[in-house]
Chains A and B, each alone.
Chain A
Amino acid sequence: SAVISQKPSRDICQRGTSLTIQCQVDSQVTMMFWYRQQPGQSLTLIATANQGSEATYESGFVIDKFPISRPNLTFSTLTVSNMSPEDSSIYLCSVEDDGGRNTGELFFGEGSRLTVL
């Protein structure tokens, strides 16, 4: 199973600034997903990031607000741009690492908890 490390684990940010979250995986994976979990809520998929192609964003999320990079098969970044207090959430990186069995089993990082003041 994949081991996922996210940085930062938590941060406090000022309104109007941007923050980049890093996701490092200990194995090569094709599909990476970024989720957001607002306080007291369930997880919402932001985008799917595959290496070598632009990220695919879900309804309600746009590239200008959440630019994503996927430079190789073990790393991705999510930037939260021009932050407002409504962006205070836990942001989670997840990868599909099912040993090639195409089961859709996802592994999640511990998340990056952002608080925007």
Chain B
Amino acid sequence: DAKTTQPTSMDCAEGRAANLPCNHSTISGNEYVYWYRQIHSQGPQYIIHGLKNNETNEMASLIITEDRKSSTLILPHATLRDTAVYYCIVSVYKLSFGAGTTVTVRA
């Protein structure tokens, strides 16, 4: 049973912001929203996580709706190296990966 829903794929232009949506309508009160990405042939890489509040770090921003049923990962200035599969996960501590969104950044 999928706990998150993400688009299968999306393209974005280099230098522009990439906005990756995720629906998690059945999220529990103690579950965090995590974002990871996997660049081809590498292990997954942590990006950001949040519980209720919006979060920002050096890689990205995470916007969580007030009802916590959806979130958006924002890559402010996408580069070609951001091409990867992006996973949105809701969890307390064990991470279960869904299919993710294949993001292709084009020059």
The smallest beta-carbon distance between A55 and chain B, in angstroms, is 13
Establish whether residues A43 and B32, one from each chain, have CB atoms under 8 Å apart when the complex forms. Answer: no
Task: Point out the residue from B45, B91, B94, B99 that lies within 8 Å of A108, measured CB to CB.
Answer: B45
Which chain A positions have C-beta within 8 A of B46? 105-107
Chain A interface size, as a band, is 20 to 34
Which chain A positions have C-beta within 8 A of B99? 42
Interface of B is mostly: loop
Please, how many angstroms separate the alpha-carbon atoms of A109 and B44 in the complex? 8
Establish whether residues B98 and A42, one from each chain, have CB atoms under 8 Å apart when the complex forms. Answer: yes
Establish whether residues B97 and A42, one from each chain, have CB atoms under 8 Å apart when the complex forms. Answer: yes
Establish whether residues A109 and B96, one from each chain, have CB atoms under 8 Å apart when the complex forms. Answer: no
Give me the interface of A with B, judged by CB distance under 8 Å. 4, 31, 33, 35, 42-45, 48, 92, 94, 96, 103-111
* Complex A-B, nearest 7 residue pairs according to Cβ-Cβ distance, in ascending order: A108-B43, A43-B97, A42-B97, A104-B93, A108-B44, A105-B46, A110-B43
